[in-house]
Chain A
Amino acid sequence: MKNGLRIIAVSVALCSSVAFGASNISAKKAIDGANAAYKQVAKETSYQWTVTASAIKAAKKAFDKGNFSEAEGLAAKAMKLVAATKLQAKIESETWQMRVPK
């Protein structure tokens, strides 16, 4: 009985630390990825959105508070905004001249 309880306690501790570690690591990875993508889109296109910077900042704040799933969600949002920025830059590079009056 005693041994059984020990095994359960150790298992729970191990599982929770693995789950905790994974969330921590994946949130960090997501934030770093969003940050790199944000800088890269500026380098490639000179386009940057303020909302992307805000999302990354909020993700970092959530990470510092230990809210890893929230941080990961915000980083994912930032990645989507980066993708939209890239798309805007691509579309605009092909269409801006249509707005020039003739």
Chain B
Amino acid sequence: MTIGDKAMKTIIQYLAFGLLGLSLSAATIAGPEEDRKAFQNFYENRFPDTPVNDFQNGVYSILPSAREQWQSIEEFPPYELSVEAGEKLFHSKFVNGKSLADCFGSNGAVREKYPHWDKARGMVVTMERAINECRVANAERPYRLKKGKIADVSAYMSFNSRGQKVNVVIPSDDARALAAYEDGKEHFYTKRGQLNFACADCHMYTAGALYRADTTSPGFGHATSWPVFRSKWQEMGTLHRRFGGCHKNIRATPYKAQGSEYSNLEYFVSYMSNGLEFNGPAARK
């Protein structure tokens, strides 16, 4: 065997190892679509009696006793006043004579476009962020981020968007979008706070279990119904308000509403609910 043959043999061995490594990593690192299928399969197996489309109803999709109560609440929905207030705000003229309708169309039925990846800025844009950005672009002050007017406008826009399907896209031509998705995914599965809980602990592996007097909701469908009127709050609130509340419950310091942590988490959670209908605003316990 000549020196050239030896070198060739070594190169082939390295290439073989490299290919083996690549195939192994492809098998172990799943992409968003594989994640979503595994995620949805998990809930379908855990709650075989729940029709897939019903997961958008949160805990009421798995808890028949509470469902009846909830359905009677929905006859006179507590978020109705918020939708009306949101309608007024949506059509109120800014100082420059424009309104939110100039950004989102005549009735703001654009829920299906959010959250989305903004390639130019390299960030996730939620609907609440877009509402405030529209106001700021028209020389108005942004709303506070977790409740109040932002929730009212969001309620109006979500109400008009009912029936649209969650269709979050992670563009394949921008690695930053996948990184934002992965960040949200890591957040969902990572334990935090002194109580050492991950989102997945309550809303996946023990979904449907009792924590004190409350049953935890399945994570599949979590992103469809916002904003919500929570009986505990006695008012409307956004998804990021709820994220913060969950973190406080497990004694973790909440992140800022509309910051990258919660926006990326919303990106992931919404992607996991792709295919379900938006049905916000909603009433929740």
Footprint of B on A, CB under 8 Å? Answer: 42, 46-51, 53, 81, 84, 88, 92, 96-97, 99-102
Contact = CB atoms under 8 A, between A and B. Distances in A.
A66 to B, nearest CB: 29
B253 A50 contact: yes
A48 B198 contact: no
Interface stretch (B115-123, B126-134, B164-172, B186-194): B186-194
A58 to B, nearest CB: 15
Given A46-B261, A81-B194, A92-B191, A99 B30 contact: no
B248 A50 contact: yes
A102 B198 contact: no
B33 interface: no
A48 B42 contact: no
Nearest to B199: A99
Given A49-B253, A50-B248, A51-B251, A101 B194 contact: no
Contacts of B252: 47-50
B248 to A, nearest CB: 6
Max chain A Cβ within 10 angstroms of own Cβ: one of B190, B196, B251: B190
Nearest to A50: B251
B35 A100 contact: yes
19 contacts: A47-B192, A48-B253, A49-B193, A49-B194, A50-B248, A50-B251, A51-B251, A84-B194, A88-B196, A92-B190, A96-B186, A96-B191, A99-B198, A100-B30, A100-B35, A100-B38, A100-B185, A100-B189, A102-B30
A97 B253 contact: no
A23 to B, nearest CB: 29
A37 B185 CA distance: 27
Given A49-B252, A88-B191, A97-B189, 13 more contacts: A47-B252, A49-B193, A50-B248, A50-B251, A53-B253, A81-B194, A84-B194, A96-B190, A99-B200, A99-B204, A99-B205, A100-B38, A101-B204
Nearest to B37: A101
Nearest to B252: A49
A96 B198 contact: yes
Contacts of B186: 96
Nearest to B34: A102
Q: Interface majority SS on A: helix, strand, loop or mixed? A: helix
B205 A50 contact: no
B39 interface: yes
B10 interface: no
Contacts of A81: 194
B250 to A, nearest CB: 9
A49 B261 CA distance: 16
Contacts of A47: 192, 252
Contacts of A46: 261
Contacts of B189: 96-97, 99-100
B92 interface: no
Contacts of B13: none
A50 B35 contact: no
Nearest to A46: B261
B245 to A, nearest CB: 12
A87 to B, nearest CB: 11
Contacts of B39: 101
B50 interface: no
Given A49-B253, A88-B196, A102 B38 contact: yes
Nearest to B248: A50
B99 to A, nearest CB: 38
Interface in B217-252: 248, 251-252
